[in-house]
């Protein structure tokens, strides 16, 4: 019984991660910040890291962490353990 409960919980976390990944990918491609992530700002390196369920967004800003996403030097989106790919914005 315990194994079944653990399996259901892990499966639910994976499904939630896939769901949030798709929502945040659409947000980032339409020039908005990811909504379902934890935001960590590194002032020294001028980077912002968004950590989510199984994926991450890395952003390098030029002047201020509060500037829009389109003004960023680089923006990369991808799964934690794979290489992150640059984001191409859509209108």
**Exposure string for 13-26, b = 16+ CB within 10 A, e = fewer:** eeeebeebbeebbe
3-state helix, strand, coil in the chain (%, to 5): 35, 25, 40
Beta bridge partners of 41: 48
* pLDDT score at 27: 86
pLDDT confidence tier of residue 91, bands split at 50, 70 and 90? low
Could you report the per-residue pLDDT of 25-81, keeping only the tens digit for each? 888 888 888 888 899 988 888 888 899 888 888 888 888 878 877 777 888 888 877
Could you report the per-residue pLDDT of 5-27, keeping only the tens digit for each? 999 999 999 999 899 989 988 88
């Amino acid at each position: 019984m315990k194994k079944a409960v653990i399996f259901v919980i892990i499966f639910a976390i994976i499904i939630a991660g896939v769901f949030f990944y798709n929502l945040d990918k659409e947000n980032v491609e339409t020039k908005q910040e990811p909504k379902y992530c934890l935001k960590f700002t590194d002032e020294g390196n001028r980077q912002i890291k968004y950590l989510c369920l199984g994926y991450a967004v890395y952003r390098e800003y030029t002047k201020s962490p509060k500037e829009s996403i389109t003004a960023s030097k680089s923006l990369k989106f991808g799964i934690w353990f794979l290489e992150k790919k640059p984001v191409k914005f859509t209108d």
